[in-house]
Amino acid sequence: MPFRSATALLGLGAFICFSALGILGASVNSATAETVSWREEVALHDGGRIIASWQVRMVAGQPFQSMVGEERVTFTLPGGGQPIVWKHPGNCCSRLGLILLAVDGQRLFLVGIPKSGADYDGFGCPTPPYVVLRHEAGNWVRMALSDLPRRFSTSNLLGYAGRDLIRESKGYLTAAQIATWFDGVRRDSTRARYATIDRRIRNPLSLDCSRDALERTYGAGKYEEWNGTGTWRSSPNAAG
């Protein structure tokens, strides 16, 4: 499945990058409200379930539109304990659309996709375009995709995906609704990476990575070396 441009893949507008139009949620009654709240039932890969509580602050976008700004998701792991929080102030160049939450014994992972070309560049042009975070001592620490256990490949966390979906669910999305949504995405080859993690890699230039970000991440001279190529290469942990 070939990569396309950053504009096509990472800036899919409101629908995929979770910067959808409008204000939604069962707790939101006005189109001018600033905060959206809803809950998701997250199906864990071992068959368990947890509830993720979302709060998203909407900010001004294009005329007569709004877009996702600050985001916060809170959940408690099976067995109880203190609530765990992931949050982002909504600043450009480091925004993620979360797509996966995984629990592996005492280890906790989140996986996201940069929301725009600028965010992709800010994360150093990862290829494949996933950012993996592990919860350690109260903090979220970035780690390599190769360190994510391979069985964690199916998306289970939706985030802000449009007002109609959350409004129809009355502010509570079941795991079945989320799975159905991702099944629809999986059938579209240009968006399938949002539903199932694809570990194949390609020349970052095919995603319009900037020269500075590319050479900062992959080494001096890589821009000239890879410019104009774009053939598929397999990583050590590439999917078959």
Q: In a structure prediction context, what are the per-residue pLDDT tens digits for the chain, which is 240 residues long?
A: 443 343 334 443 333 333 333 333 334 333 444 788 899 999 999 999 999 999 888 776 655 566 677 899 999 988 878 999 999 988 888 889 999 999 998 899 999 999 888 888 899 888 889 999 999 999 999 999 999 999 999 999 998 776 677 778 888 999 999 999 999 998 887 788 899 998 887 778 877 788 888 888 888 988 888 887 765 443 333 333
**pLDDT value for 150:** 94
φ, ψ of residue 108 in degrees (nearest 5): -125, 130
Question: pTM of whole model > 0.85?
Answer: no
**pLDDT value for 18:** 38
